[in-house]
Amino acid sequence: MRLAVIGAGAVGRSVVELAGEHGHEVVAVADSSSAVVADGANGPDGRTPGVDPDAVVARKAERGIVGDGDPEDALAADYDVLVEATPTTLGDADPGFSHVTRALERDRHAVLANKGPVAERFGDLRAAVADSAGEIRFEATVGGAIPAVSTVEDIEPGHVTAVRGVLNGTANFILTRMAAEGLDYDHVLAEAQDLGVAEADPSFDVDGTDAALKCVILANVLSFGAVDDPADAREFTLDDADVEGIRDVPGSTLRLAAEDGRTVRLIGEATGETVRVAPRLVPENGTLAVSGTQNIVQIETTHAGRLNISGRGAGGPETASAVLGDVGRLK
Amino acid sequence: MSDAPDGIDGRSDNVDDPTPDGGHAAATPSTHTVRLELVDEPGQLLAALHPIADNGGNLLSIYHERGNKTPRGRIPVEVDFEATQDRFEEIVDALRTEGVNVMQAGTERYAEEVTLLLFGHLIDTDLSDTLSRIEACESASVADVSLAAPQGTEEVSSARLRLEARAGETETALAAVRELADEKELRLVEPLTGVEA
């Protein structure tokens, strides 16, 4: 497959670097201000030779740009799959949403690592897919390397009653450290920021928004997947989620939990009807009490019992693996 | 599924139970526990066991708490047995017909236990009022409370509550606590009920 990678953050760069190993070719890369598009004319047999991944990554590191072209050039390039890896935006979910719909209008596929369009405008995306020969996939938007969406699809959404889990590594790291060391939130947050586990503004993670977006996406998968006619499906957005974060959980709460063999985790739950994210009491050695930045997805099924998949929920190469897995599923 | 530590399975007829060990049909015997209150006289225990055996219950264990008396001066006895749901109900009826005082029978009283955490200004918002209002809720009773107020009573403190809920009413009990927490601006950390496997 020929890929146009839009967004050159950790995920976009890793997709550029790892595409070759997965048998794909990157023909265009764009960040917010620049682009590089492979010059097809120089390719053997009229085939584009693809852009040089190392050169793209080096230019981004040294000069902050991926090439000398305009981002518009990458969107207009001759690709099979557009990889949308720009930062998540809420509301109209642009520019990510427009990047995806423009690919679909050209009957190309789109693979998203950006949560915005699938969390905030799932119905609009489904409508665009219905009018296109292209498809969309978005495994990388939920749980990084964990195959959450594709597992739900394999089981079939109509046979999945709920999906829950730990879907934010930053919040999980903070809760794990608070419980293990008896430290307060502010101390552990500063530590996480020094380690690069938490961002300078950690609101998105510690207020539960990031986990909620992932649950909203899963709720959309369950809701749309369970009906024949998309018009019958309930569409979820962040506004439909009941969200509580971990910001004000005191150390004493974790100590009381530990005295009783339990701990607190920020748990997200999605069904076809509800989305809820909140700190919850779980057994200390239970399946859901993953530690550090680990994530876990627990899928409750009608006929196949309960499935648990844990692993790395974030990171460039991890998320890029999910993106490239999606590319591999497209025909 | 049911969070019953004493093996009371009030939902043994739930064929939709998605757990791997679930899906018992109504005809499958499950383990039940009854707590009886016996007068301290010879022959009382045997008289209490007859209705169980006679109605198809398979006795598993008998715990005769001789040292421990109920406020009425009687002896509590805990009996575990296997029976189908239908037979279980017949057994409880038969015990009562025989005049045996059944304190707790399987699904009747507090069969489910639920632990939750509250944090916030627990003391300022009158913790004892909070507890008595939970207690006043029909579905549950407060079995145990632990409080941690490391920064004094005027700062944020935490409490761990163990509630005993009637079978199938854990969700109702939690909803009552949720409402109370909202009203008092306390944060509630709910357990993931029905998930602890």
Determine if residue A270 is labeled as part of a ligand binding site: no
Q: What is residue A112's three-state secondary structure?
A: strand
What local confidence, expressed as pLDDT, does residue A91 receive?
A: 95
CA A165/CA A168 separation, integer angstroms:
9
Question: Beta strands of chain A (E only): which ranges?
Answer: 2-6, 25-30, 35-37, 81-84, 109-112, 136-137, 160-166, 241-243, 262-270, 275-283, 294-301, 306-312
Contact B189 A288 (CB under 8 A): no
CA A115/CA A97 separation, integer angstroms:
10
Q: What is residue A70's three-state secondary structure?
A: coil
- Residues of chain A with Cβ-Cβ distance to B196 below 8 Å are 282-283, 286
Instruction: Examine the pLDDT at A73 and tell me if it is beyond 90.
Output: yes
Using CA of residue B147, residue A211, residue A123, residue A161, what is the dihedral sign?
negative
Determine if residue A304 is labeled as part of a ligand binding site: no
CA B33/CA B81 separation, integer angstroms:
7
CA A174/CA A172 separation, integer angstroms:
5
Same-fold call for B30-105 versus B110-189 = yes
- Residues of chain A with Cβ-Cβ distance to B192 below 8 Å are 164, 267, 280-282, 288
pLDDT: is A91 or A39 the higher one? A91
> Which residues touch A74 (CB under 8 Å, ≥6 apart)?
A4, A5, A6, A28, A29, A30, A35, A36, A37
Size of interface A-B (CB pairs under 8 A): 81
Contact B158 A255 (CB under 8 A): yes
- Residues of chain B with Cβ-Cβ distance to A261 below 8 Å are none
What local confidence, expressed as pLDDT, does residue A238 receive?
A: 97
Q: Does A214 qualify as catalytic in the annotation?
A: yes
Is residue A56 classed exposed, middle or buried when 0-12, 13-18 and 19+ CB atoms within 10 A define those classes?
A: buried
Instruction: Examine the pLDDT at B183 and tell me if it is beyond 80.
Output: yes
Nearest residue on chain A to B147, alpha-carbon basis? A256
Domain regions of chain A by residue span? 2-144+319-329, 149-313
Determine if residue A11 is labeled as part of a ligand binding site: yes
- Residues of chain B with Cβ-Cβ distance to A164 below 8 Å are 192, 195
Instruction: Examine the pLDDT at A147 and tell me if it is beyond 90.
Output: yes
In this structure, are strands B58-64 and A136-137 parallel, antiparallel, or unpaired?
A: unpaired
- Please indicate if any CB of chain B lies within 8 Å of the CB of A47: no
Provide the β-strand partners of residue B164. B113, B141
**Could you tell me the pLDDT band of residue B83, with boundaries at 50, 70 and 90?**
confident
CA B16/CA B24 separation, integer angstroms:
9
Give the distance from CA B69 to its chain's centroid: 20
Cα atoms in the Cβ-side hemisphere of radius 13 Å centred on A250: 23
Nearest residue on chain B to A255, alpha-carbon basis? B148
Question: The domain A149-313: what is its CATH number?
Answer: 3.30.360.10
- Residues of chain A with Cβ-Cβ distance to B148 below 8 Å are 252-253, 255-256
Contact A252 B157 (CB under 8 A): yes
In this predicted complex, what is the ipTM?
Answer: 0.84
- Please indicate if any CB of chain B lies within 8 Å of the CB of A282: yes
The single-letter code of the amino acid at A147 is P
- Please indicate if any CB of chain B lies within 8 Å of the CB of A300: yes
CA B75/CA A297 separation, integer angstroms:
49
From A13, A99, A214, A276, active-site residue: A214
CA-wise closest residue to B122 among B191, B190, B185, B189: B185
- Which CATH superfamily is B30-105 part of? ACT domain (3.30.70.260)
Provide the phi-psi class of A91: left if phi over 0, else alpha when psi is between -120 and 50, else beta: left
pLDDT digits (tens, 9 = 90+) for A257-300: 999 999 999 999 999 899 999 999 999 999 999 999 999 999 99
Q: Give the number of other CB atoms < 10 A from CB of residue A116.
A: 25
CB A253 within 8 A of CB B161: no
- Both structure tokens of A103: 């690919």
| Highest mean pLDDT (candidates A47-51, A90-94, A227-231, B8-12) | A90-94
Residue among B148, B150, B190 minimizing CB distance to A281: B190
To the nearest 10°, report the CA torsion of B5, B7, B13, B15: 60
Instruction: Examine the pLDDT at B193 and tell me if it is beyond 80.
Output: no
CB A233 within 8 A of CB A219: no
What local confidence, expressed as pLDDT, does residue B147 receive?
A: 93
pLDDT digits (tens, 9 = 90+) for B119-144: 999 988 898 999 999 888 777 888 88
Using CA of residue A247, residue A252, residue A253, residue A258, what is the dihedral sign?
positive
A314-327 average pLDDT score: 96
CA A261/CA A259 separation, integer angstroms:
6
Determine if residue A10 is labeled as part of a ligand binding site: yes
pLDDT digits (tens, 9 = 90+) for A192-241: 999 999 999 999 999 999 999 999 999 999 999 999 998 899 999 999 99
CA angle, corner A168, sides to A165 and A171, nearest 5?
110
Instruction: Examine the pLDDT at A55 and tell me if it is beyond 60.
Output: yes
The CATH architecture one would assign to domain B110-189 is 2-Layer Sandwich (3.30)
What local confidence, expressed as pLDDT, does residue A44 receive?
A: 46
CA A291/CA B154 separation, integer angstroms:
32
DSSP letter (8 states) at residue A69 = B
> Which residues touch B174 (CB under 8 Å, ≥6 apart)?
B114, B116, B190, B193
**Could you tell me the pLDDT band of residue A167, with boundaries at 50, 70 and 90?**
very high
Ranking A62-76, A272-286, B44-58, B71-85 by mean pLDDT, the lowest is B71-85
The single-letter code of the amino acid at A32 is S
- Residues of chain A with Cβ-Cβ distance to B160 below 8 Å are 256-257, 259-260
Distance from CA of A280 to the nearest CA of B (A): 5
In this structure, are strands B101-105 and B30-38 parallel, antiparallel, or unpaired?
A: antiparallel
- Please indicate if any CB of chain B lies within 8 Å of the CB of A289: no
Residue among A244, A281, A287 minimizing CB distance to B116: A281
| Dihedrals phi, psi of A262, to nearest 5 degrees | -125, 175
> Which residues touch A113 (CB under 8 Å, ≥6 apart)?
A7, A11, A12, A15, A83, A84, A85, A138, A140, A141, A319, A320, A322, A323
To the nearest 10°, report the CA torsion of A143, B195, A246, A273: 70
Residue among B18, B146, B192 minimizing CB distance to A302: B18
Determine if residue A12 is labeled as part of a ligand binding site: yes
Distance from CA of B189 to the nearest CA of A (A): 5
Instruction: Examine the pLDDT at B67 and tell me if it is beyond 80.
Output: no
To the nearest 10°, report the CA torsion of A239, A244, A248, A254: -160
Domain regions of chain B by residue span? 30-105, 110-189
CA B75/CA B69 separation, integer angstroms:
5
Contact A288 B192 (CB under 8 A): yes
CA-wise closest residue to A121 among A98, A143, A102, A137: A98
Q: What is the mean pLDDT of chain A?
A: 94
Crossing angle of helices A96-105/A122-130, nearest 10°? 10
Domain A2-144+319-329 fold: Rossmann fold (3.40.50)
Q: What is the mean pLDDT of chain B?
A: 78
Distance from CA of A282 to the nearest CA of B (A): 6
